[in-house]
Amino acid sequence: MAATAVSDIIVPDIFVPYMVEKTTELSELISAGIAQRDPKFDALASGGGKTVNMPFWDDLTGDSEVLSDSGALTVNAITADQDAAAINNRGKAWGANQLAKWISGDDPAARIAELAAGFWARDNQRILFKILSGLFDGTNGVLRTTHRLNIYSDVAAGAITDAMRLTGSTFIDGLQKLGDAKQEIVAVAMHSDVEAFLLQRDLIDFIPDSEGKSQIRMFQGRRVIVDDNCPKTAGSNSNAYHTYLFGKGAFAWGEGMLDPKEAVETDRQVLEGNDVLVTRRRFILHPRGVEWTGTASGASPTNTEFATGTNWTKAYLDKNIRILAIRHNVTS
């Protein structure tokens, strides 16, 4: 009997929409409301080019005028500007040898197919945190002063005070960076060290999800995402942490509609006994209101290029960029 191959498990026309749907289901970015998929961005990601321009109208400004029977109102113009997003062209390939199947008593090819969506959900999150590293880069990050509260001090563990840590009080200070737009913040992403500290202080609440199957972590009324991709940078005496705060839809997500046979391919390397699964995506994951102005070295930006502060420029007014950061100590 012939061994089951990846091509026996994967039917591209069926697997591609399943993988996208499952990626959405598994992504904390989506469930927390940080990244919102938009049909307009789907269409942009399905088109050509490496970047897409997104023009928008500026808000109306100035004061009203007092009406007069001897003079006319002043005619004011509405101005336009544009945001720009990079299109990501990414892929990943996995393989399994039939000997691994025989020896393990399981089917590694089937496991790869089941786990691919989880990989892409985590990869989306990794890309998002690289973008944040660029936006809040300490030297060139375009949001490093206007959208970041820096309370970190490189002191020994015994000298760290609550004024240097993330607490309910300093969280409110961070929110105030957005002024009266602070109520738009719906989620917080933090390193597991920070979560552990807040748990020790009994500052994280747990509420059941809509189905009552799991507990959702909340801090100061906002959804908590714990991810060790949040920066933890060693100082001379103590570590500096970045905790991020997000408004609903702070990132726009669009999934390009590729030909299923290009998005997913399988191969059987008969002489080696290998089954190979290749997945490819073309998508947009973009911080709303911050324009990508860099030049990618390849078909799309690398994670390192996303994390480079000089590759980003503000497009929106500060209050309309719903991304904040707090740089702080924990205990060491």
DSSP 95: E
Does residue 93 sit within a domain? yes
Number of domains observed in the structure of the chain: 1
What is the spatial distance between Cα 298 and Cα 308, in angstroms, rounded to a whole number?
15
Indicate the average pLDDT of the chain. Answer: 87
Does residue 77 sit within a domain? no
Does residue 27 sit within a domain? yes
What is this structure's pTM? 0.84
Q: Kindly state the tokens that stand for 264.
A: 């997913």
Does residue 153 sit within a domain? yes
* pLDDT value for 94: 84
Residue 116 predicted with pLDDT over 90: no
Mean pLDDT of 142-158: 96
* pLDDT value for 329: 97
Q: Find, among 124, 131, 135, the residue nearest to 253 by Cα.
A: 124
| pLDDT tens digits for range 275-305 | 788 889 999 999 999 999 999 999 999 999 9
User: Which of 155-169, 197-211, 266-280 is predicted least confidently?
Assistant: 266-280
Does residue 281 sit within a domain? yes
| pLDDT tens digits for range 41-61 | 999 999 888 888 876 667 777
**Residues spanned by the domain of 237:** 1-48+82-332
Whether residue 168 contacts residue 69, with contact meaning beta carbons closer than 8 Å, is answered with: no
Whether residue 235 contacts residue 332, with contact meaning beta carbons closer than 8 Å, is answered with: no
Does residue 63 sit within a domain? no
Q: Find, among 315, 230, 272, the residue nearest to 98 by Cα.
A: 272
Whether residue 148 contacts residue 177, with contact meaning beta carbons closer than 8 Å, is answered with: yes
